[in-house]
Each structure stands twice: as C-alpha cells, then as structure tokens.
Structure 1
Amino acid sequence: MSVLLFIVGILVMVVAIAVSIGLHEVGHLLPAKLFKVRVPQYMIGFGKTIWSFRRGETEYGFKAIPLGGYISMIGMYPPAKAKKGEEATDADGAPVLRQSSTGMFQQMADEARHAAAEQLQPGDGNRVFYKLPVYKRVIIMLGGPLMNLLIGTVMIGILLVGFGVPEQTNKVSEVYQCVVPLSQQPTRDTAANGGCLPGDPQAPAYAAGLRPGDLITSFGGVAIGQTQWLELITLIRDAAGKPTPVTFVRDGVEKTATITPLATERPALDINGQPLTNPDGSLQTVKVGFIGMGSESATIRQPLTAVPAAVGDQLKSVAGVVIDLPARVVAVARAAFSSEPRDPNGPISVVGVGRIAGEISATNQISVTDKVASLIGLIGGLNIALFVFNLIPLLPLDGGHVIGALWEGLRRTVARTFKRKDPGPVDIAKALPLTYVVASLMLVMGAILIYADIVKPVKLFG
C-alpha cells in the first residue's frame, strides 16, 4: 500500500509540473497572439513530437522529453545588418539574410537567423517578434514567469487560508519537573524521574502548579493570544529572578499563580525562535529566565492578508538559493560522492521533488489532510522557484530576453535624446555562444542534482 501511495504522490507531482510548464507557456502564448505575432508551435517537452494537433496557425502538442516546454515565435532573431547598398528587407518587409564568412561565433548566429527565417511565410513581415515595441516584448517574455508566480501565490493562499500552518500556541504541552543544566542534558536519562537528580532545582512552572493542557492567557499582566508563544517566551526570558503573575485556564476555569523564572543558561534564539549556532556548529547560549515548559503545536488558518508576506518570504528564500546556485550545486555534488550529509535546504531536481511528493503520500506519520496540504505547498514552492529561476538575466531564460529588449530600448532612447541614428534592434543571435554555455551548465547542474536525488535524496521523514 505504501508503495502505491508513493507512486501516487509522484504522479501527482508529475501532473503538477506538466500543468505548471503548460501554463507558463500559455503566459507567453496569450500576449504573443494578442500582439499578432505568429506562433507556429506550442509544445510541452523537448525532442520528438509524440502527439499534437493544429488549431489555426499553431500546432499544439507533447514531446518525448517532459523537462520543459516552449512556444516558437517567428522573428525572434533580427536579420544581420545589411552592408552598404544591400536591402535588409524584401518588398513584404521580411528580413533578407546575407551570408557571412567571419568566425565560428558569427556562423552560429547566421545559422540561427537562417533557421528562424525558414519559418517565415508571405505576409509575416510585420508579425515578427523583434519588430514589436520593447514593452510588448517584455510583456510576452514576462508572461511565463508571472503565470508561475500566480500559480504559486494561489497554492500558497489555499495552503494558508484553507488548511493553515503549524504554529506554536499558548497551550502547555509538557512541564519539566526540574531544571537541568544545558551542558548535562545530552547525558541525562529522561526516562528516570524526568531526567531529574537530587539537588536539581525544581522547575518554576512545575512549582507554580502549571500542568500539560493548561492554556496561558497572560504573563506579567500582558495578555497572551493563541499563537503568541514566541512573545510569551520573550517575556519569560526577560523576567529572570522576578516574581511574575501568570494566568491560565484549566478545564474551563481561570486560575492565577506566581512564577519566578530561574536565570539559567539557555540557547540564544533568532527572531523566529530558532537556536543560534557558532561558526563551529555549537549552540550559542545566554543567561535568561526559564520556567520549564513546552508548547503545543496546532494548525492555524491564516487570514488572506498573510499570503503576500508568505509569498515574499518564499521569493527571498528561493532567490538566495539561486544567487548562490553554483556553490550549492558543488556542495550537493560533494555530498553525493562522499559521506558528507546533504543540506536539506539546498537545491533539488524534479526527481527530488517527485521523491518528496511520494514520501509525503506514503508516510503514516501525518494525516491525509496534512498530506494534501503538504503537496499543495510543494506545488506552490515549485512555481515560485520557476518564477525566480526564469528571471535569471541570461539566455536562453526569459530574463535574458527581457534584458535584451530593455537594452534595445535604452539604446534607442539615448539615440533619440542625442539625435543620433537609430541603432536598430539588438541582435540576440550574437549571444548564442553564451547561450550554449549557459544551457550546457544548466544541463550539467541538472544532471548532478538528479544523480544526488537518486543516490542521496533529501528525506522528510527520517
């Protein structure tokens, strides 16, 4: 049964990736057609076509390698500038390509222009991509990534508003009987008397009468809301050695007690309540107030207004990974070919995403509702990653085309300002050598991540 559920999870993610890619290309297709650019093909995948149909002037279909997708627009590359006395376009306005006998890179550019020119048909002279105003080309190229951003936002919204997210609450989950020094905690046997030894000071929460299930409503006169556990911890840490009133509810009855937080060595926390570590990996510690209790976690639905901030946090997180992507891929490769542990927050391939989806579906450690929520969150995160990745300002990615169009607009604006001759369209075909280098590096990095996701995958459940 678990194997079947694992496969179901993978299939769900395969469909989600295909739909995300398909809608990404729709984001390019719709504005391209709106701006009258002829689009001969809309394809999901690469390689040999396995199924397609034609509607109007566009062929829609699937190809054998489902690792992406594309739409082909005529006139992506402008013709080479004509020599003096030569015509750059024919009577219909279509580009006339001239032969070049220069170096290898120029030949690559010419071959790309000729391949693009072979798609031209009579009447296409004013329907080529490169003749569009700059803003229209930017809209077309940003349409795909923005579609992924929209999908990611919707998925994150469904997760937060419809399902909720785990949060620490003001409900007590456990109360420690004593205070154990941080340095001794790893060696204490918690099964014997709660890990307490004679001479250990009694934990303030236990001494004050707090027990699991109690709902703390105020501390030191400050009201504590359902999800304000971190605020409560901050108040406790700041009240070391001070007798402080605490109000809590037990079995529907409100009770009051006085607690004196014990000044003890505890882990230093960041703004999110996570322990801080030193460069050598050891915990940073500080002397703060401690009362000895834990918080119960609950899934809390969020308001719609929380969605933009959550999307922003994901964008920052993914952007941080992308900016440092080469170094992170090297770290993944090192882990894959050695005994080093793999960073669970590092980059993964589509294979890794599929494995995580399968693991979520097959585990018996979470409920069905939590499984669905996790898969929705995974799909949302995937689309946020596609949005950020496609904005990298390098060809063949969408961001490279956007930068090319903006550079052209800047050149023409400067020329008009200083009353110079129009420099014409930016010839992105000249960037093909760099494009091939970038594409090759992407393939290499993709292969490394796929290999690592097979031999040393990131696991969520042990």
Structure 2
Amino acid sequence: MGAYLFGVALFALGIAVTIALHEAGHMFTARAFGMRVRRYFIGFGPTVWSTRRGHTTYGVAALPFGGFCDIAGMTAQDPVTEEEAPHAMVNKPWWQRVIVLSGGVVTNVLVGIIILYGIAVTSGLPNPDVDTTPTVGEVTCVSDQVDAQTLSECTGTGPAGAAGVRVGDRILAIDGEEMADFRQVRETVISRPGEDVVLTIERDGRTLDITVPVEPVTRLSAEGASFEAGAVGLSSAPITNAVKSYGPVEAVPATFAFTGLLLEGTVQGLMSFPAKLPGVVASIFGAERDMEGPMSVVGASRVGGELVERSLWDVFWMMLASLNFFLALFNLVPLPPLDGGHIAVVLWEKVRDFFRRLRGLAPAGPANYEKLLPLTYAMAAVLLTIGMLVIVADVVNPVRLFG
C-alpha cells in the first residue's frame, strides 16, 4: 500500500509539474519578447499561496485542474495601464504572439521527448520491429472460470490440441482474417463459442489450415457477472525483443521516431475522444470501464500508483510522457479558451489584413474578443462538465490495469 500511495502522489506531482512547465513556456517566451507577465498560477479558484517578484505574482490556487499565465493585453479588450501598454501582448507583432501562445505546447513536447530519451538509455523503448505474430506457447484443456484468478480443474489436450495445433505454431489468420497479435486471437475466439474456426498456421516453413471447434465456457466480467465465451486451449509464447535498449547517441533518432508514433496515437485518441464519453457516463452507473477511455488527474494518478506498486517504472514514465503529448495536442485544438483558439484568432487577423491590403485598406487591428465570449463560455462549460464526469467515473469506477 505504501508503494501504491507513493506512486499516486508521484504521478500527481508529475501532472502538476507538467502543467507548471506548460505555463512556464508561455511566461518565458512572453518575457523574451518584452511582454508583461502579471500572474503565473498553478490551479484555478481561490488562492492558496502567492508571492510577488517584480511585475509578476506567482501562486497556487485551490482547484488543481490546470493553470494560467496572465499576460498584459492578451486581447484588445484586456485593459492595460499606461505603463503596461508598451509591454502589452496585443501591441506586439503577430509572429511573436503566435510563438508565445505556442510556448506551452512546445514545452510539453520537449518534456515528453526528454522523458522518452531517458527511458531509451535506461530501460529501453518498445522495439518498432518486434515480431508480434501470435505464437503458441502452451496447448491446454479448457474449463469454466471460478473467480477472477481461478479456472476449474480440467484434463485432456483441449480443442486446439486435439485438432493438431502444436507449441511453436505461428497463427497467421483465423477464418482468413490476419491476426496481428495474440490478443486479437483471444478476442476472436472468445466471440465464437460453439463455432468452428479455421486457424492458418505456419510450422517449420509450411502453411497449414487447421479447423478447431471453439468450446463454450463460462467467464466472469470485471463486475463478476458470468457470460458464455469461446475457448480453444491456447496460450501465447513470450514475445522476444519487445524492448530495445539504446546508447546515448543512437537513442536520439530512436526517441524522435517513437515520439512520432506516440503523437500519432495521441491524435487518434483525441479524434475518438467524443465517442468515448458515453462510455464514461455509463461506467458511473456500473458499466464496464473502457481501459483506453479518457482519465482525469485522479484516474491517471491511481494508475501511476499501480505501476509503482509493481515497479513498472518505465511504463510509469512512458505514461507521463504521453500525458505531456496529450496536453500539447489538446491545447492546439482551434477553439477558445484553448491556446489553439487564440492562435487561430491571430492567424485570422493576419489573413484578414492581407485581403484588406489587396483592397487598398488599412489593417483592421486586433480582433474583438467580446464577439467570441459566448463560444468561450460555452467551451469552458463543456470542458468543465466533461472534466467533472471523468473525475466521478475515476472515483466510483476507476480504470484498473491489474484487476
């Protein structure tokens, strides 16, 4: 329990540092261009602690759901004093404003890359060239599930063994559908109780088709409810070379390559995010929680605790790197109040003024953010609602990696 609580606290601290660095990215780039930073806060709501240094108030607020960097004159509607006017963000060139607005995103990407590099030179990164073709490690009998960790006793070779499947066979396809890994084999078999399936296997350089009857068995869901599933009596052989270690130099290209894979996966996750929300709501009322669904600060910290409890430090740090990439790409969504929304406004001003020049007109000046307030408030309400729903789900029905 001590290791678990330590892991929870450590991952929560990692999230806080991630948020702090994101806002620091805005703050340091703003100062580099002579902009005035009024406040730098971690959290929202009532102030828990604060101190003032120069022109900036640093602080921690009560609600740990993010942070903010208050730069003078971020919009034309933001009042500035006569002394602040030369340092107001809205009076700076458009490209400087875009760099400052992107500062948090860039910082999170860099943090994620640094974490991955550390993993690469210590425990190693997942090998992109590993062969995940499902390979039979054991042929056994099949039986019903008694509880979460126990199957009832059985004898015999099982359906697959009786049909002629052997240890070492590589399962290439089931009923003509290519199998990428053993998990796909398992999911396919579970869904076919009482049917016959044709396994296309590779053995000693030859390809064989073996028809295997899928035996109906009883399995238990995460909530303990029994259901009928299919089983053939096969287990996976260990995957070799799944992780590859690197030296300090060769780790650099490997880190960037793996970063690309994680960023691609993060984009796909963001695109599927809306479709997963109904499942989060359903899980609050007892439905099974999607292992790949969204998690809040609470849920991610609990998973971090599970990983530390089992000394899976490489996965722990990988998860923190993924969090940085998620925060970076999520903030690029071109909707206020996210960074991407502010960047979109600045770019729109630039495009608008380009066409005005073609018509012989002077630049129109900064955009009127008051017209965006309804959208900003609506998006803030949506994000707050989603955040609260995910937190509730993480409390009443959390994601558990290890049951």
Letter in 2 for 1:311: T
Question: Could you tell me whether the CA contact under 8 Å between 1:176 and 1:194 is conserved in 2?
Answer: no
- Cα deviation for residue 330 of structure 1 reads 1.8
Partner SS for 2:45: strand
2:166 to 192, 203, 209: 203
* Alpha-carbon distance in structure 2 between the residues aligned to 1:438 and 1:185: 52
1:355 aligns with 2:267: no
2:30 is matched with: 32
**Equivalent in 81, 99, 104 of residue 144 of structure 1:** 104
Residue 436 of structure 1 corresponds to 377
How far apart, in 2, do the equivalents of 1:58 and 1:374 lie? 37
1:402 alignment partner, SS class: helix
Give the equivalent residue in structure 2 for 1:128: 88
Q: Secondary structure at the match of 1:122?
A: coil
Give the match for residue 391 of structure 1: 332
Partner of 2:395: 454
- Deviations along 1:2-43, one digit per CA (max 9) or x if unpaired, are 2x2121011101211111111111110111111111111111
SS class of match (2:178):
coil
Structure-2 residue corresponding to 1:155: 115
Aligned to 1:269: 178
1:326 maps to a residue whose letter is P
1:400 aligns with 2:400: no
Instruction: State, as a whole percentage, how many aligned pairs show the same letter.
Output: 30
* Gap change, CA 1:460 and 1:75, over 3 Å in 2: same
Distance 1:204 1:33 in 2: 64
Q: 1:295-314 to 2 correspondence within 5 Å? A: 295-297=238-240, 299-302=243-246, 303-304=250-251, 305-314=253-262
SS at match of 2:184: coil
Q: How many residues align?
A: 354
Partner residue, 1:107: none
Shift of 1:265: 5.2
For residues 149-186 of structure 1, the C-alpha deviation after alignment (integer angstroms, 9 at most, x for no partner) is 1111221222233212466679x997557xx9xxx967
Which residue does the alignment assign to 1:54? 52
1:431 alignment partner AA: L
Looking at structure 1, the residues matched to 177 and 285 of structure 2 have their Cα atoms a distance apart, in angstroms, of: 35
Q: Which residue identity does 1:449 align to in structure 2?
A: V
Q: 1:422 is paired with a residue of what secondary structure?
A: coil
Label 1:281 to 1:320 Cα distance change in 2 as closer, same or farther (>3 A): farther
- In the alignment, the residues of structure 2 paired with residue 11 and residue 202 of structure 1 have an alpha-carbon distance, to the nearest angstrom, of 48
Structure 1 residues 290-331: Cα deviation after superposition (integer angstroms, max 9, x where no partner): 449834445432552222232222222222222232331122
Q: Deviation of residue 335 (structure 1)?
A: 2.2
Q: Greater CA radius of gyration, 1 or 2? A: 1
Structure 1 gap segments, 5+ residues each = 79-112, 207-232, 238-263
Separation in structure 1 between the aligned mates of residue 361 and residue 28 of structure 2, nearest angstrom: 35
Q: Does residue 1:345 correspond to 2:292, yes or no?
A: yes
Structure 2's unaligned 5+ residue stretches are 145-150, 204-233
Separation in 1, partners of 2:152, 2:202: 21
1:264-300 Cα deviation digits (max 9, x unpaired)? 957843556762778x955996652344983444543
Alpha carbons 1:268, 1:275 under 8 Å: kept: no
CA contact 1:32–1:140 (8 Å) conserved in 2: yes
Q: Which moved more, 1:399-408 or 1:315-324?
A: 315-324
Root mean square deviation, CA, Å: 3.3
Q: Secondary structure at the match of 1:275?
A: helix
Tell me which residue corresponds to 1:16.
Answer: 14
Aligned CA distance change for structure 1 residues 266 and 300 (closer, same or farther; 3 Å)? farther
CA distance in 1 between partners of 2:51 and 2:294 (Å): 36
The answer to whether the 8 A contact 1:269-1:275 is kept is no
Query: Would the aligned equivalents of 1:348 and 1:453 in 2 still touch at CA under 8 Å?
Result: yes
| Distance apart, 1:456 and its partner CA | 0.9
Task: Tell me, yes or no, if the aligned pair for 1:268 and 1:285 is still in contact at 8 Å.
Answer: no
Secondary structure in structure 2 of the residue aligned to 1:126: helix
Q: Which moved more, 1:266-275 or 1:387-396?
A: 266-275
Counterpart-to-counterpart distance in 2, 1:204 and 1:17: 45
- Say yes or no: does 1:315 pair with 2:313: no
> Which position in structure 2 is the counterpart of 1:43?
41
For the residue of structure 1 that corresponds to 2:35, the secondary structure is coil
Helix, strand or coil at the partner of 2:85: coil
Q: Which moved more, 1:298-307 or 1:346-355?
A: 298-307
Q: TM-score, normalised by structure 2?
A: 0.77
1:294 is aligned to: 237
Mark the CA change 1:289 to 1:437 in structure 2 (over 3 Å): closer, same or farther: same
**Partner SS for 1:52:** strand
Q: Does the CA-based 8 Å contact 1:145-1:386 persist in structure 2?
A: yes
Q: 1:265 to 1:390 in 2, by over 3 A?
A: closer
Matched, 1:65 2:48: no
